[in-house]
Amino acid sequence: MWQSNRTSPRLRFLRNDERQLTRDEPTGRNNWISLKLVGRNCNADAIGARISLYPVGTDKPIVRTLRAGDGYLAQSSKRLHIGLGPDMQLSHLTVRWPDGTQQTVNDISLNRQLEIIQDQTNALAWQRPQRAQDAELPERPNQSEPIAALRRIVPHRRLPIPQLEFVDGDAQTQTVRTFSPCAVFLWASWCGPCLTELAELAKHQQSLEEQGIRVVLISLDEVETNSTTAIREALQVLPKLSQSQVAGIATDSTKSVADLIFRYLLSRQRPLSIPCSLLLDEQGRLAVAYQGGVTIEQLLQDVQRVRDPDGDRRDQAVPLAGRWFVNEVPADLMSMVKKLATAGLASEALSYLDYNLLPMFTDDLPSDTIWSAEQVSSAYL
């Protein structure tokens, strides 16, 4: 057996060279006895029983007590194993059972596993149950198609997301705006699954338009965003876009924001993987996030759920139906602000505050107590 330690570079090799002996072969080593107690008028495991072994030629017994419930996983088993040395022989043993009765057992065989039953004067030989033969598993053919790797994340409360900016084919910076359900797809020209997903979108453009779904295709390719020629060359891999679809190159802040959104949802520490996409409702709040290529059928189903005004939205976030015994918890907006600030996106954090949190207080507080994003930035940043 090879043994390694995760906190040091040490590697050990352990090998058992002890020769295995047959049942009738003399051991030439220390004697032993293993006892299993079975209670009849007390608890079945005889917990609390005391055994006294009397060696030949002496009246000083070897005493053992059967215990259980201490030491957690390190506790001993309910079988008593007693070492006797190379020359010791036993004349008899006594068992004081938990109910107070005492029993004497004679003719004790050494180097055996014995079972002592309450109210029986003889010890019975005990053998380990034979293991069933390992069943042979049937051979199965390899799967011809890989299992879909889509991960669909539905937040319990729809969270307003920070602004997602991209540069269009005219080198103009645009912002994702939502007046109807909007699907934002993050892709790259070197990503094969991304191109497959975009091809499926092109085939179902009419279905998406009939449902009023706006599609935004944001590329994560490293492209000079101030060069119209470079941008258009990068977008040439896209199929022909309809009027409800727009495409562009992600800005650096958008790449960071997209990564933070998935970190917020999954608490993961791995870099953002593509393809991935976001489904936003009419108010620009995150309704569903997808990791992996999403099918058109799944997207259309989720859009119908986004538009459904009835029912508890939390029901869409859990796999099983049930009843809620607590009220809905508001979306944690400050957690997103903290993540943006920690990532060095101070401007995005202030814009998020200005757009999502400050309007909540303008009706209750005097106007001079509310600072705009520019005032906070000039005072503290």
Residues 188-231 have pLDDT tens digits of 988 888 888 888 888 888 888 888 888 899 999 888 888 888 88
Point out the least confidently predicted range of 43-47, 121-125, 239-243, 296-300: 239-243
Beta bridge partners of 106: 92
Position of tokens 């996030």? 289
Residues 306-317 have pLDDT tens digits of 887 655 677 777
Residues 246-258 have pLDDT tens digits of 889 999 889 999 9
Flag whether pLDDT at 293 surpasses 50: yes
Residues listed for the chain: 381
Architecture of domain 151-317: 3-Layer(aba) Sandwich (3.40)
> What pLDDT sits at residue 368?
46
The residue type of 339 is K
Backbone torsions φ then ψ of 318, nearest 5 degrees? -120, 150
Outline which parts of the chain fall under CATH 3.40.30.10. 151-317
Flag whether pLDDT at 352 surpasses 70: yes
> What pLDDT sits at residue 42?
92
Task: Record the tokens describing residue 67, joined without a space.
Answer: 């215990």
264 contacts 335 by C-beta, under 8 angstroms:
yes
> What pLDDT sits at residue 380?
45
> What pLDDT sits at residue 181?
86
Flag whether pLDDT at 365 surpasses 70: no
Q: Taking the model in full, what pTM does it have? A: 0.56
> What pLDDT sits at residue 367?
47
State how far the alpha carbon of 331 is from the alpha carbons of 113, 341, 342, 355, in Å: 64, 18, 19, 15
Position of tokens 């000039």? 378
State how far the alpha carbon of 354 is from the alpha carbons of 112, 160, 176, 250, 381, in Å: 81, 12, 17, 23, 15
Point out the least confidently predicted range of 31-35, 111-115, 140-144: 140-144
62 contacts 52 by C-beta, under 8 angstroms:
yes
Concatenating the DSSP letter of every residue in 336-367 gives HHHHHHHTT-HHHHHHHIIIIIGGGTTTTS-G
Domain 28-125: give its CATH code. Answer: 2.60.40
**Residue 60, number of CB atoms within 10 A of its CB:** 8
73 contacts 130 by C-beta, under 8 angstroms:
no
Question: Can you tell me the distance from the alpha carbon of 231 to that of 372, in angstroms, rounded to the nearest whole number?
Answer: 35
Outline which parts of the chain fall under CATH 2.60.40. 28-125
pLDDT band (50, 70, 90) for residue 370: very low
283 contacts 307 by C-beta, under 8 angstroms:
no
Flag whether pLDDT at 117 surpasses 70: yes
12 contacts 2 by C-beta, under 8 angstroms:
yes
Mean of pLDDT over the chain: 81
